Amino acid sequence: MLEIKGSMLSVREDLRVLDCTIRDGGLVNNFHFTDAFVRGVYEACVAAGIDYMEIGKNNSPTLMSTEEYGAWNFCREEDIRRIVGDNNTDMKIAVMSDIGRTVKDELLPKSESVVDMVRIATYIHQIPEAIELIEDAHAKGYETTVNIMAISKSFEGELDQVLETLSQTPVDVIYIADSFGSFYPEQIRRLTEKYLSFAEKTGKKVGIHAHNNLQLAYANTIEAMMYGTSYLDATISGLGRGAGNCPMELLVGFLKNPKYRLLPLLKFIEKEIVPLEKELDWGYSIPYMITGQLNEHPRSAMKARESGDTNYVNFYDSLMDVQQ
């Protein structure tokens, strides 16, 4: 982002844009993207000047079905290299490890992998296992991040304790994850200040991963950035689970940093995303709006969308009954 200082324009050097199109988008189609599509995302992100591309998850094929899930749920080294080769670009490659679905012994040393960053996704009750993965990935030479999921359901003191614990680990970036797309900008502002109060004491950065249930993923990402968040997650055309994510093209347009370029993203959207919209369902809808407002996991909204259920009043009433 460009900031005005006196009569001079300066760039926030700490900002990093991270593309999650394949990883979060993979939750829509069980990671059954073609090589051509994944390569298209990679090439578009390189051309657009994006800092990181999260190419998928590195879950273990011993724990999840390779028939049900596509290659990008497992991210074997040979599959990644089939797309990026040795990745002789300025963009770094990331993968995500799900607690309970990843076997740390399967993670190669960084010296043997084209992957640069391992992102750990964890619920609060899984923090001990998350720390083991963080320490293992860090020891093997990777950059590391941690996404604390479902924090909108956590208690204040509980989250403080988790942040204090994580700030003492080798993790590089601690992420605010709006898992249910339920946060408003003023809540994101407070969370950013909270996360930074722990992270900065031990030299760590803060990231933001927003969902779009309330049409606020973009606004919340900008809010977090304004208050000091450095790592900004986005997906091309918002492709992602349920209501989707902060759209990359909106974010790049806002930052107005000459490093980032919009046209490659628009070309990819025109060529690949427009046809995909006829096959996959993601983005804002009333069921996702309702789960966001009620701070509930979007799984019920996904089911409603899959079945074509437009009985929105009944859907709302059923979720209200669960909350009572």
To the nearest whole percent, how much of the chain has pLDDT over 90? 94
pLDDT of residue 112 exceeding 70? yes
Q: How many CB atoms are closer than 10 A to CB 283?
A: 18
pLDDT of residue 98 exceeding 80? yes
Q: How many CB atoms are closer than 10 A to CB 154?
A: 16
pLDDT of residue 7 exceeding 80? no
| Token output for 67 | 């028939």
To the nearest whole percent, how much of the chain has pLDDT over 70? 97
State how far the Cα of 272 lies from the Cα of 285, in Å rounded to an integer: 22
pLDDT at position 321 is 84
CATH value of 12-276 in 3.40.630.30, 3.40.190.80, 2.40.50.140, 3.20.20.70? 3.20.20.70
Mean pLDDT across the stretch 80-94?
98
- Strand, coil or helix: what is 44? helix
pLDDT of residue 235 exceeding 80? yes
- Strand, coil or helix: what is 8? strand
Q: What is the pLDDT of residues 299-318, one digit of tens each?
A: 999 999 999 999 999 999 99
pLDDT at position 4 is 42
Q: Which burial class, exposed, middle or buried, applies to 161 when counting CB atoms under 10 A from its CB (0-12, 13-18, 19+)?
A: middle
State how far the Cα of 241 lies from the Cα of 116, in Å rounded to an integer: 24
State how far the Cα of 112 lies from the Cα of 114, in Å rounded to an integer: 7
Q: What is the mean pLDDT of the chain?
A: 95
Residue 5 binned pLDDT confidence (cut-offs 50, 70, 90): very low
Residue 1 binned pLDDT confidence (cut-offs 50, 70, 90): low
The CA-based angle 83-136-73, given to 5 degrees, is 35
Q: What is the pLDDT of residues 249-293, one digit of tens each?
A: 999 999 989 999 999 999 999 999 999 999 999 999 999 999 999
- Whether residue 177 contacts residue 221, with contact meaning beta carbons closer than 8 Å, is answered with no
Q: What is the pLDDT of residues 175-187, one digit of tens each?
A: 999 999 999 999 9
pLDDT of residue 155 exceeding 70? yes
pLDDT at position 8 is 43
pLDDT at position 205 is 98
Domains of the chain, residue spans:
12-276, 286-323
- Whether residue 314 contacts residue 289, with contact meaning beta carbons closer than 8 Å, is answered with no
State how far the Cα of 119 lies from the Cα of 54, in Å rounded to an integer: 9
